[in-house]
Amino acid sequence: MRNDIAMNAPSTTIAHLVTPYLFQTGSWIHSQLTHNRDFRPIVVTQRLENATAFSFDPVFDLAPHARGAARPWFLFSKFVLGRLPAGPYREIFAREEVRLVHAHLGWEGARTAHLARSPRLPFVVSFYGQDAGPIPRKVYWRSLYKRLFAVADRVLAEGPHMGRVLAEIGAPADRVRVVHLGIPLQEFPFSERRDSGDDPVVGLIAASFREKKGIIYSLEAVARLARKHPRLRLRIIGDGPLHTAILARTQAPDLAGRVALLGYQPYPVYKQELARAHFLMAPSVTAVDGDTEGGAPVCLMEAQASGLPVVATTHCDIPEVTRPGRSALLAPERDPAALAACLDELLSHPERWPEMGRAGRAHIEAEFDIDRQVSQMNEVYRELL
């Protein structure tokens, strides 16, 4: 099915490289594609996933080029040479008259930067988190990133903290640009949160079960407040490597019956959970291996747009994405006592929830609307065309 926006867009074609297309939490990339009215976006991927949830056309799936007799060369090129075979990409670029290449995630950019040569095409790479944290610590990836930064015309960060990190790992400072992520506001109807006084007060976490998400600290904070706020409940969307530890903590006596682990959920279900929650928690931390949010979780934008107050940490660009003290209460990283104090303040003053919701919505409307973000992105493209 042909995307209406793509059909009506001007003919200048931008090739977006992302693998897989599209990972379950990649809604912000999908929004960039579907809201760009000034350029014609196409997607080139090595693996197709969640195509129904993130409908877009055209998407060129190169997976068949890595099968059968071609597979040994594909694996050697990808893992030893650190570059994806150029032939299939260049065939698509020539046929679709691609004028600029935009790689999403540092590792995708590192393995496709050679596509900017022969013929020379402007090359943009966006970093989003893990690709700027633990990955550059590894010798193999440092080498690939050095090659990427030598070629990339622009290196994009979602916030100023990530911009500084990219410069520290070798991105030329004069090529780094901060372009906020954006969300489609119309998909997140605003509703003021209020406490009925009788029903459960529901908090939501939407995150992978990884150290950097800090979920264990939220559980500790909720446990500390269990007696003072007996109606407090927590619902968690996600899964991952720390599932066993998180499940065990939720089953302890001080949390029994208070926490629901929902697993990974389709994007529409996630939006339903946003609508039913009273607040969002995002207690992100810097992991031992250096993994960070890089910028800030997109769910912070979506939650504030929906009217949810936020309890989070002063991690990476979270203070940039929220309005500390107005739409969000922020605690230091890895401090369950401080996180509990923020949560206690929120729960003890439900009369503040509507005001916090309005402040969050206004902030997202002003700085993180998808149309504003796409406009900023297009300015980057125009600098290079």
pLDDT for res 184: 94
Instruction: Identify the structural domains of the chain with CATH numbers, from first to last.
Output: 4-182+369-384 (3.40.50.2000), 185-367 (3.40.50.2000)
pTM of the model: 0.86
The string of pLDDT tens digits covering residues 188-214 is: 999 999 999 899 999 999 999 999 999
pLDDT band at 133 (very low <50, low <70, confident <90, very high): confident
Token code pair at residue 282: 């995002």
Q: Is the pLDDT of residue 320 over 50?
A: yes
> Do residues 28 and 182 lie in contact, with contact meaning Cβ atoms separated by under 8 Å?
yes
Q: Is the pLDDT of residue 7 over 90?
A: no
d(CA 300, CA 363): 11
Residue, of 231 and 136, whose pLDDT is higher: 231
pLDDT for res 10: 62
> Do residues 20 and 45 lie in contact, with contact meaning Cβ atoms separated by under 8 Å?
yes
pLDDT band at 368 (very low <50, low <70, confident <90, very high): very high
Q: Is the pLDDT of residue 274 over 90?
A: yes
What average pLDDT does the structure give for the chain? 94
The string of pLDDT tens digits covering residues 43-61 is: 999 999 999 989 999 999 9
Q: What percent of the chain has pLDDT over 90?
A: 89
The string of pLDDT tens digits covering residues 216-229 is: 999 999 999 999 99
Please measure the distance between the N-terminal and C-terminal CA atoms of the chain and give it in whole angstroms.
29
Q: What percent of the chain has pLDDT over 70?
A: 97
Residue, of 28 and 248, whose pLDDT is higher: 248
- Phi/psi at 156 (5° precision): -100, 135
